[in-house]
Amino acid sequence: MEAVIPSRDAVAVLRAISRAGFSYQRTKELCQAARWKLVDDELDLGYVAFEMGTVPGQDSHRRLAVEVSESGRLPRAFVPLFYFEEYDVHREPFDLTYRSLSEQLAGVLGPPSSSGEYTCPHREGWRYFYSWWSLTDATFVLVQDEFDIQFGMDVTLWVLPANVSVAVPVSGE
């Protein structure tokens, strides 16, 4: 998977989803207006997912999953931007990709509000990096993680409501 950040237009849609409170109907309307393909419509499970265009005019897509406000859980969305399968060999490409994505996002969102590293008890000696941007209408969190380890380690962009406290790792639970 080539590492790519969402375009300014895609970020504008993500911010609009947050402003709309991650509501099921409004999320669908916004994503469909952006011409993103609906791939999972699971209101009974509390989420909806789209094939999100990342770069205008190119065939570059990422899966956007939105946990809607009607789910009864904290509403949020996430977009995996990069999977790294060879983490058991060396991690330098994983870290370089994270840094590159973070710098590119800073070009779109401005300087991060916070950044740092964290560890997980099940993988001693491994550091995971994160950055987040607290904006007036949304909180964006870029994080190295193992969210879906079957695809490898990942760099994922999370979209949370504005003014929410951020704890890493961010998870769908």
Query: For the stretch 144-163, what's the b/e string if a residue is b when 16 or more beta carbons lie within 10 angstroms of its beta carbon?
Result: bbbbeeeebbbbbbbbbbee
pLDDT in tens, 27-65: 999 999 999 999 999 999 999 999 997 665 566 788 999
* Averaged pLDDT, 144-171: 80
pLDDT of res. 157 = 95
- Is the model's pTM score more than 0.85? yes
Task: Report percent pLDDT > 90 for the chain.
Answer: 62
pLDDT of res. 49 = 98
Residues 49-56: contacts with CB within 8 Å, 24+ apart? 52/6, 52/10, 52/79, 53/7, 53/10, 54/4, 54/5, 54/6, 54/7, 54/10, 55/4, 55/7, 56/7, 56/9
pLDDT of res. 33 = 96
Domain ranges of the chain: 8-160
pLDDT of res. 158 = 95
pLDDT at 173 over 60: no
pLDDT of res. 61 = 82
Task: Report percent pLDDT > 70 for the chain.
Answer: 87
pLDDT in tens, 97-128: 999 999 999 999 999 999 998 877 766 777 88
pLDDT at 167 over 90: no
